[in-house]
Amino acid sequence: MKTDIEIAQLNKMSHIKDVATKLDIKEDELEFYGKYKAKLSDELMDRVKDNPDGKLVLVTAINPTPAGEGKTTTTVGLGQALGKKGIKSVIALREPSLGPCFGIKGGAAGGGYAQVVPMEDLNLHFTGDFHAITSANNLLAAMLDNHIQQGNVLGIDPRQVKWKRCLDMNDRVLRNTVVGLGAKADGMVREDHFVITVASEIMAVLCLADDLADLKKRLGRMIVAYTFDGKPVTADDLSATGAMAALLKDAIKPNLIQTLEDTPAIVHGGPFANIAHGCNSVRATKMALKLADVVVTEAGFGADLGAEKFFDIKSRAAGLNPECVVLVATVRALKYNGGVAKEDLSNPNLEALKKGIVNLEKHIENLSKYNVPIVVTLNAFVSDTDEEISYVENFCKERGCEFALSEVWEKGGEGGLALAEKVMDTLENKTSNFAPLYDVNLSIKEKIETIAKEIYGADGVTYSAAVNREIGKIEQLGLDKVPVCMAKTQYSLSDDPKKLGRPEGFTIEVREVYLSAGAGFVVAINGSIMTMPGLPKVPAANNIDVDENGKIVGLF
């Protein structure tokens, strides 16, 4: 079997203007980045804004394991399968971050014969959106420190600077730094911090903004620091909003590429779901809904993170109405949750499957709370036995879920036809009564505890004294009536990555809380999760190279 990158490089791509015609997009409504990538213009959105919305399908998954679940692969394969059935469809995805690409997870273009291409471009620099976000973020940081250096008219307390610099790379040594060392002219010495670009508030702002005007409003109200007397200082106060918007004026436009089977794919924005809100941009999703009859989108990591945030943050903010949710699982991952070591997952083990399937069960229960019809799909591996597949199918049907086997990794769209049938049947014959899990008017702690208890299955939540003080400050400012974005490990329903399956008898530890006033949510950091990841002992970067013909190798 060829590697993902070999399959992608052997594929003959269509010119992006020809892919665009499948969505009735005119050539002069595209802003080309070479032959195979394009930005979708503001003129296009203006033209289609009154079109009826298509049907929105969310793809999510059980908790990820080292075995891999294939959520993006399934999303792409489902889009290809819908295309094979003659349905006007589009895929709406996030852009990959360089951090996991060079770290441990790899890229995010799908896999096998269910990929979006050009795969190398997407996984590396793409159209420069992340560079623009990084630049805007660090411009604000530079203007903040410059204001303090140049007389500090606003009275900013250097001990209460909240804005962090960012970099789209896993670099643990930058988590905590000291800036301003050297001479007096080099700035005030203070402690500083970095986050990975996909955890930056500007990433969230870009992904939640409706248009350029909304982007500027959100950028302007971002809180960067507090004064000596405790008043918030915003980007508007620093006169930084216009310059940041100038850096982001092209980045706010969604990107159009294609799958291996020429299915249109709108790829835009890329917040991580474990440390951010985990969804592609509102602009991309809304544009997709105006262009196609069925839109297939995904949310990052497991349903306890990505799907929860898709429903409670993105859909709430954008007024979206998801009409079907596809929950991806694998026999291998369920056996891993049942205690089987990674190297033994290819061996038949029905008992371990029965033990680990409680993870899938909890995710089904969680998704049911949002009143959206569920289709469970089993991403097939050659090592799966008929007995194991039948057990999972019966388990799902007993819980009122539709079920389909997916073979898109091996067969592309052809391998997703059974799943496409179930999805279309659900869209045509079942009703979604989507509603968020909680009321934003609840207190911050009530919202945190609702998510922890209802979605994670926790007994309760613990808060440090510092967290209690920060919550009090947010409430005093009157900025607490917003959703909560939980930053938590993706590997477990709990905040302990070692607790697999369906943990019970645990509490969630909230060790940091801060307000993302521009994004419009409160972030609660749980357990040991980091907003600046580190590289593994043997990073994927070790195996990435460019051969003598200029072809990238080792990227996956």
- Catalytic positions: 71, 73, 94, 105, 273, 301, 381, 409
Look at strands 255-259 and 38-40 and give their pairing: antiparallel
114's tokens: 């269910």
Q: Are 396 and 410 in contact (CB under 8 A)?
A: no
What torsion do the CA atoms of 117, 118, 122, 125 make, to the nearest 10 degrees? -170
Q: Is 121 helix (H, G, I), strand (E, B) or coil?
A: helix
Task: Specify the DSSP element, H or E, that contains 420.
Answer: helix 417-429
Q: State how far the Cα of 69 lies from the Cα of 165, in Å rounded to an integer.
A: 33
Residues 145 and 187: beta-carbon distance below 8 Å: yes
Count of CB atoms within 10 A of residue 176's CB? 11
- Taking residue 245's Cβ as centre, other Cβ atoms within 10 Å add up to 17
329: β partners: 378
Measured between alpha carbons, how far is 540 from 378 in angstroms, rounded to an integer?
A: 27
> Which DSSP string do the residues of 144-162 spell out, in sequence order?
HHHHHHTT-TT-EEEEEE-
Q: Cα 410 to the chain's mean position, in Å? A: 25
281 and 270 Cβ atoms separated by less than 8 Å: no
Beta-ladder partners of 58: 297, 325
What residues contact 272, with CB distance under 8 A and at least 6 apart?
Answer: 97, 196, 198, 199, 278, 300, 301
Structure tokens of 373? 């019809």
Task: Check if the beta carbon of residue 279 is closer than 8 Å to that of residue 264.
Answer: no
* CB within 8 Å of 153: residues ≥ 6 apart: 147
Report whether 397 contacts 403 (CB < 8 A).
Answer: yes
Burial pattern 468-492, b for ≥16 Cβ within 10 A else e, equals eebbebbeeeebbebbbbbbbbbbb
What is the full DSSP assignment across 353-369?
HHHHTHHHHHHHHHHHT
395's tokens: 């388990």
162's tokens = 């909240």
CA–CA dist 86, 104 (Å, integer): 37
Cβ burial, residue 250 (10 Å; 0-12/13-18/19+): middle
Contact of 153 with 181, CB cutoff 8 Å:
no
* Cα–Cα distance list, 152 to 165, 220, 397 (Å): 20, 19, 64
* Whether residue 118 has a cis bond before it, omega within 30° of 0: yes
Distance CA 359, CA 414 (A): 29
